[in-house]
């Protein structure tokens, strides 16, 4: 999906260029980056999930976005209110029912196209349909006659699409927003990374960086890692002990829910050194494992069998978006910016992220 990411980011950049062009003699424009990037990642994740050819795809994205906002608001209420027939809960149920009907309709259209020799498609929905079985006697998780294929029910296909959007859209947007913030407050690093991008990825509009190009953007990569350390999109995770365990001399019974404070651990001076609160991407210059006292200290994507499956997708998406932005603009914090990170679903700027953008090419 590199081409989709590059195309969508180029379109966003053109809108920013037009705004700068119409800004008058100042030749600079204030952009609410958090809103713009949130819309960008929604478009990218939506096209990765559903492609661009189906009419109902855009409607599905709108519904998912609306449900995500309501879910964030519900997090503030607490679990006691989640099952009560409040106005918000009733609206969420109505939206969910409508969303499921639209995805089901998209599935039916893909199946009809496949029956005519067109295939299911090369996006997420198409891949899921390869493992989908409309036959009620074939239950989810059961093996086929040869014992090699796991099938999905219609409900599971829909839930996978929802999870893909919910987990991948806001987290990547949050990473990008804090990356431009840190490069705005550390202009020397912005200059270094831009120089690298212009050297390794100097092409014009429509060019898509391949894996070889991205592997050469080493400074950009360590900037993204340092951003994940200082401003992790998810500041804590929970895990349940599968059996009795002993953690640092503390006996923990099986079934205990443990909260892991990623945000605190990734600023722990005993692990990261005396500059743990400072922006220093060079700590990752020799790799993640050597950046701290513990090789597993970076927990932004979690670890082990429950680690984030979208890690590579998110990092590649962030690299491409930042490469496009850096080779077109310089940017700095707006005087109106107020630094108040808040955590609901992810760690976002409570008062927004207004930045002043100037075009590199006049």
The total of structural domains in the chain comes to: 2
Judged against a pLDDT cut of 60, whether residue 204 lies above it is answered with yes
Residues 6+ apart with CB under 8 A from 296: 303
| Same domain assignment for residues 245 and 205 | no
CA angle 36, 37, 41 (to 5 degrees): 125
Residues 6+ apart with CB under 8 A from 187: 332
SS3 71: helix
Domain termination site, one of 247, 265, 283: 265
| Same domain assignment for residues 99 and 165 | yes
| Same domain assignment for residues 124 and 247 | no
pLDDT bin (cut points 50, 70, 90) of residue 304 is confident
| Same domain assignment for residues 343 and 218 | yes
Residues 6+ apart with CB under 8 A from 40: 8, 9, 12, 173, 321
DSSP label at 346? Answer: S
pLDDT bin (cut points 50, 70, 90) of residue 201 is confident
277 within a domain of the structure (yes/no): no
Tokens representing residue 28 in the block = 């600079």
317 within a domain of the structure (yes/no): yes
Judged against a pLDDT cut of 90, whether residue 339 lies above it is answered with yes
pLDDT bin (cut points 50, 70, 90) of residue 294 is very high
55 within a domain of the structure (yes/no): yes
Question: 182-198: b or e for each residue (b if 16 or more CB lie within 10 Å)?
Answer: bbbebeebbebbbebbe
pLDDT bin (cut points 50, 70, 90) of residue 135 is low
94 within a domain of the structure (yes/no): yes
CA atoms within 13 A on the CB side of 23: 18
Range of the domain at 247: 235-265
SS3 256: coil
d(CA 266, CA 102): 41
| Average confidence (pLDDT) over 237-264 | 93
278 within a domain of the structure (yes/no): no
| Better-scored residue on pLDDT, 51 or 12 | 12
d(CA 42, CA 69): 13
User: Residue 238's CB: how many other CB atoms inside 10 A?
Assistant: 8
Q: E-assigned strands of the chain?
A: 29-32, 237-240, 245-247, 250-252, 257-260, 329-333, 341-343, 347-349, 354-359
Tokens representing residue 127 in the block = 């891949």
Query: Are the C-beta atoms of residues 346 and 169 closer than 8 Å to each other?
Result: no
Per-residue pLDDT reduced to its tens digit, 70-101:
776 766 666 667 777 888 888 888 988 998 99
> Chain centroid to CA 41: how far?
7
| 308 is annotated as contributing to ligand binding | yes
pLDDT at res. 227? 98
Q: Is 88 left (phi over 0), alpha (psi -120 to 50) or beta?
A: alpha
pLDDT at res. 188? 98
Per-residue pLDDT reduced to its tens digit, 223-247:
999 999 999 999 988 889 999 999 8
Per-residue pLDDT reduced to its tens digit, 160-199:
888 888 788 889 999 999 999 999 999 999 999 999 999 9
Residues 6+ apart with CB under 8 A from 179: 223, 224, 227, 318, 322
71 within a domain of the structure (yes/no): yes
| Same domain assignment for residues 243 and 132 | no
Closest CA to 61 of 121, 106, 13: 106
């Amino acid at each position: 999906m590199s081409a989709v990411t590059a195309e969508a980011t180029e379109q966003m950049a053109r809108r920013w260029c037009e705004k700068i062009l119409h800004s008058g003699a100042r030749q600079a424009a204030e952009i609410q980056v958090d809103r713009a990037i949130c819309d960008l990642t929604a478009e990218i994740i939506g096209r990765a999930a559903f492609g661009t050819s189906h009419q109902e795809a855009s409607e599905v994205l709108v519904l998912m976005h609306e449900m995500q906002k309501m879910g964030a608001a519900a997090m503030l209420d607490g679990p006691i209110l989640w099952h009560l027939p409040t106005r918000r809960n009733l609206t969420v149920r109505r939206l969910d029912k409508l969303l499921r009907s639209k995805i089901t309709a998209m599935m039916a259209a893909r199946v009809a196209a496949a029956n005519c020799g067109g295939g299911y498609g090369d996006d997420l929905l198409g891949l899921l349909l390869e493992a989908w079985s409309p036959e009620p006697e074939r239950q989810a998780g059961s093996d086929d006659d040869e014992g090699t294929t796991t099938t999905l029910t219609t409900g599971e296909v829909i839930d996978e699409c929802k999870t893909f959007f919910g987990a991948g859209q806001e987290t990547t947007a949050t990473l990008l927003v804090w990356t431009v913030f840190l490069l705005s407050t550390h202009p020397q690093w912005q200059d270094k990374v831009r120089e690298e991008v212009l050297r390794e990825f100097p092409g014009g509009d429509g060019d898509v960086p391949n894996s070889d190009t991205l592997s050469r953007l080493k400074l950009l990569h360590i900037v993204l890692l340092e951003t994940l350390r200082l401003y992790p999109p998810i500041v804590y995770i929970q895990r349940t002990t599968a059996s009795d365990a002993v953690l640092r001399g503390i006996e923990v019974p099986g079934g205990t829910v443990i909260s892991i404070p990623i945000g605190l651990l990734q600023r722990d001076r005993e692990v990261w050194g005396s500059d743990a609160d400072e922006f220093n991407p060079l700590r990752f210059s020799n790799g993640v494992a050597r950046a701290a006292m513990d090789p597993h200290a970076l927990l932004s994507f979690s670890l082990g069998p429950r680690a984030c499956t979208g890690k590579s997708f998110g990092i590649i998406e962030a690299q491409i978006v930042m490469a496009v932005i850096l080779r077109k603009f310089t940017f700095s914090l707006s005087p109106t910016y107020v630094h108040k990170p808040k955590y609901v679903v992810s760690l976002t700027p409570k008062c927004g992220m207004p930045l002043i953008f100037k075009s590199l090419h006049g």
